[in-house]
Chains A and B, each alone.
Chain A
Amino acid sequence: SQQGEEDPQALSIQEGENATMNCSYKTSINNLQWYRQNSGRGLVHLILIRSNEREKHSGRLRVTLDTSKKSSSLLITASRAADTASYFCAAGTQGGKLIFGQGTELSVKP
């Protein structure tokens, strides 16, 4: 399978703590995108990092990319109960396709 892996599969933290999710992928990429999915909903785009970038910030999100290790991480700082969701990384390949990981289920307890 071309799908990548995410680690951990599930993460439970307290409000105010930071949450770190890791992703590994197998294919060559042009970019890597992170998405959030609330229960019963579609995918919401969070951030895109290009293959020639190493780190990107957006609000409380920080994404890193290491193409030599084919891995990425998503850090959510000062988490809130509303951040409770599944988070997916997706490798953006030549031709505009996304190959998704299995996702990390984040639970933020108030």
Chain B
Amino acid sequence: EAGVAQSPRYKIIEKRQSVAFWCNPISGHATLYWYQQILGQGPKLLIQFQNNGVVDDSQLPKDRFSAERLKGVDSTLKIQPAKLEDSAVYLCASSLDLSPGNTIYFGEGSWLTVV
């Protein structure tokens, strides 16, 4: 079974530029998450989707971050304009659905450096 796919793996941009990350969850998984992990810290939830609807985006800095999952499968996370403090790993994860006992599977992450 294929895991959660993410691209690009690495990206270096200058501050005030924009960047987009793509995620393809495990086939059949209705719930998709984007997490931000700053070096040396645990991941922090940015946004959670159930199919193509947003369940929780309370931690998403909406002035610069946006995310969509238009057809309820793939998702894109965009940052515009980027700030130095956005340097982090952006982890996509998926689970079968919102049932509390489900395992949540993570991708390899997209590593962003803002210079």
Contact = CB atoms under 8 A, between A and B. Distances in A.
A100 B103 contact: no
Contacts of A101: 42
26 contacts: A3-B44, A30-B100, A35-B106, A42-B108, A43-B91, A43-B106, A44-B106, A45-B105, A48-B101, A48-B103, A50-B101, A88-B42, A93-B100, A95-B55, A96-B48, A96-B98, A96-B100, A96-B104, A97-B33, A97-B45, A97-B48, A98-B104, A100-B42, A100-B44, A102-B42, A103-B41
Nearest to B55: A95
B87 interface: no
Contact of A41 (B4, B41, B108): B108
Contacts, number: 74
Interface of A: 3, 30-31, 33, 35, 40-45, 48, 50, 88, 90, 92-103
Interface of B: 4, 6, 31, 33, 40-45, 48, 55-56, 91, 93, 95, 97-109, 111
B48 A100 contact: no
**Across the A-B interface, the 8 shortest Cβ-Cβ residue pairs:** A30-B100, A100-B42, A43-B106, A42-B108, A96-B98, A42-B109, A42-B106, A100-B43
